[in-house]
Amino acid sequence: MKLQLALDDLALDDALKLTEKVQDYIDIIEIGTPFVYQEGMRAVKTFKERFPEKEILADMKIMDAGYYESEEALKVGADYVTVLGVTDNLTIKGCIDAAEKYGKEIVVDMICAPDLPRRIRELENLGAHSLAVHVGTDQQAAGRKPIDDLRVMAEHCKAAKISVAGGISADTTPEYAALKPEVLIVGSGITHAKNPVKAAKEIKKSMEECK
Ligand SMILES: O=C([C@H](O)CO)[C@H](O)[C@H](O)COP(=O)(O)O
């Protein structure tokens, strides 16, 4: 199980400093969507150069122009690019084709996707590498959590890797890790923690206890 650190609302220098501190516990560094808006592909390139031994995910949340947009991140060093599960299969196929040209992978973000079992089947048939259960920031504010959708994903997903995101913290990691997703994604649970290093260390420890 890998730990993905989502960097969403930090400036580039602060994000680099934070990542330096927690890097021992992190497997994948996510250049979050707000970070992509702020810094563009410069952030992806900078993090790949500074942390060449880590995998980098560009959280582009692509909705159209799948091949073209995913290639923007792949050509500057992204190992994973996200596309939205609610978009057209043509867009998702374009992302998959671009990723495979670079020997990399696509993560399909299932945020707001209706009928998860049906969409999981379709996306696996398309060849999606990973499917991400995701309760977004606005939904979290309304009290939603990703645990039930993770159970549905674990039951129906046969070939793709599973990631999960949505307000996960050191306190809640054990219940998510128990369902054994391939990737646990944590943003504010580390970046907004009083002590980010302690939070990252605790999260990684809980994940290792669930192996
Ligand atoms: O994808 C995300 C969100 O839509 C903002 O772009 C976050 O990176 C993801 O939800 C993880 O962050 P937390 O929910 O704060 O753990």
Q: Which among 164, 81, 165, 166 is positioned nearest to 128, based on CA atoms?
A: 81
Model confidence over 50-106: pLDDT tens digits?
999 999 999 999 999 999 999 999 999 999 999 999 999 999 999 999 999 999 999
Q: At CA 20, angle to CA 18 and CA 26, rounded to 5? A: 90
Whether 85 and 52 have beta carbons less than 8 Å apart is answered as: no
Ligand 1 contacts CB of residue 31 (under 6 A)? no
The CATH architecture to which 2-209 belongs is Alpha-Beta Barrel (3.20)
Ligand 1 contacts CB of residue 38 (under 6 A)? no
Whether 143 and 136 have beta carbons less than 8 Å apart is answered as: no
**Which residue matches tokens 């959708």?**
149
Distance of alpha carbon 200 from alpha carbon 195, whole angstroms: 9
| Token code pair at residue 146 | 């990703």
What local confidence, expressed as pLDDT, does residue 195 receive? 98
Would residue 3 be called left, alpha or beta, if left means φ above 0 and alpha means ψ between -120 and 50 degrees? Answer: beta
Gap from CA of 136 to ligand 1 centroid (Å): 6
Which residues lie below 8 Å from residue 9, measured CB to CB, with a gap of 6+?
Answer: 32, 34, 35, 191
Which run of H or of E encompasses 3?
strand 2-7
Model confidence over 101-131: pLDDT tens digits?
999 999 999 999 999 999 999 999 999 999 9
Nearest CA to ligand 1 atom 12: 187
| Token code pair at residue 151 | 């159970």
Ligand 1 contacts CB of residue 34 (under 6 A)? yes
Q: At CA 161, angle to CA 198 and CA 44, rounded to 5? A: 60
The structural domains of the chain, with segments of one domain joined by +, span: 2-209
Q: What is the ipTM of this complex?
A: 0.98
Ligand 1 contacts CB of residue 72 (under 6 A)? no
Judged against a pLDDT cut of 80, whether residue 159 lies above it is answered with yes
**Which residue matches tokens 């942390």?**
51
Query: pLDDT confidence of 208, banded at 50, 70, 90?
Result: very high
Ligand 1 contacts CB of residue 146 (under 6 A)? no
What local confidence, expressed as pLDDT, does residue 211 receive? 73
Collapsing DSSP states into helix, strand and coil, what is residue 130? strand
**Which residue matches tokens 């890097």?**
23
Ligand 1 closest atom vs CA 33: 6
Packing angle, helices 196-209 and 12-22, rounded to 10? 50
Listed in order, strand segments (DSSP E) in 19-173 are 28-31, 55-62, 80-84, 105-109, 130-134, 161-165
Distance of alpha carbon 98 from alpha carbon 58, whole angstroms: 14
Gap from CA of 148 to ligand 1 centroid (Å): 17
Model confidence over 14-27: pLDDT tens digits?
999 999 999 999 99
Query: pLDDT confidence of 147, banded at 50, 70, 90?
Result: very high
Ligand 1 contacts CB of residue 136 (under 6 A)? yes
Ligand 1 contacts CB of residue 187 (under 6 A)? yes
Gap from CA of 189 to ligand 1 centroid (Å): 10
Nearest CA to ligand 1 atom 11: 187
pTM attached to this predicted model: 0.98
Judged against a pLDDT cut of 90, whether residue 158 lies above it is answered with yes
Which of 5, 135, 150, 185 should be mutated for ligand 1, with most atoms under 8 A from CB? Answer: 185
What local confidence, expressed as pLDDT, does residue 210 receive? 87
